[in-house]
Structure 1
Amino acid sequence: MKREWKPGNVALVRGTIGVDAVAVRSGVPSNMGWAYNGDGPDTKNYGNCWMSDRDGDAVIRPLVVIDPEDREQIERLRDLMVGHDIHEGRPCYSTTCHADRLADALHEFANPTPLKPDEPTGLGAVVEDEKGDHWVRLDASGVWACSEDEDRTATYWPKVTAVRILSEGVQP
């Protein structure tokens, strides 16, 4: 699934001039893109750069910016980091485990897991899962099948990792 970037997001990008840079997502609707410093090996490219999405900037990965004065961000990071009592099936007391938790929390902070939408109840409803696969509601009892699965294995809504509704389907 493609990430939808919002103004103010921060990411490591590879610009069209071949420079990997920390960039900020612009808020200009007519020319969405990334703003970054283009100090590269070629001296004529020094200075501030602005590349629109059409220019082909490649996002390498999202980055995290945490404001230590923003209590809500700090509490969210804390909750993501220490929200479990058990790590991989055992109690966690080691510094390695805490580092793993912090890394996991930062990943979640940078690229939050989308909330699962409410189940669409229409016949033929279509949703997209976290991998980009499409699931179709087959009948009124709530049976779903993945359209990319050759076996068309059926399942119920709790097992579908939907992140976006593509169609509500039709109501009987």
Structure 2
Amino acid sequence: MEKATFAGGCFWCMVKPFDSYEGIEKVESGYTGGHLENPTYEQVCSNATGHYEAVQITFDPDKFSYDQLLEIFWMNIDPTDDNGQFFDRGSSYQTAVFYHSEEQREKAENTKEALNASGKFNMPIATKILPATSFYAAEDYHQDYYKKNPAHYNRYFVGSGRAAFVEKMREVFK
């Protein structure tokens, strides 16, 4: 098993895209990239800890590749937004790929460069490629939020503008 860590804005919206594939064992919401040990949601939302809301994926690379994970990631974010995602603003909602190996770093950099050169976006790709650091699981009520609170999740997903953007990206990435 390997790990992949992605920050794509609100972690509630980043679990579901990865959660239904053979070879993906676990998708966990949490916090990474900051300087405070075991931060709480409130601390991270203050934008004072340096953490990103992120998902950490445990996967079997023989069944589901890191390249496939990257493709899902890029299709579910606005990689040109350097101050958050959709209506979630601030550093804790910025996008990043946190690599766990040199191979992951190279693949992330290559896909970022290809996306930048593709002409699919009018602005440069702002998503950072960073070394993985400590990952702290978010509070239980944040885990699998789309399953536990589907009505609220769906209102948020649509109301934030993410649903329309993701639908558009499916067409762009065809």
By percentage of residues, which structure has more helix?
2
Question: Highest Rg: 1 or 2?
Answer: 1
Query: TM-score under structure 2 normalisation?
Result: 0.26
Query: TM-score under structure 1 normalisation?
Result: 0.27
Q: Which has the higher contact order (CA 8 A, sep 6+)?
A: 2
By percentage of residues, which structure has more strand?
1
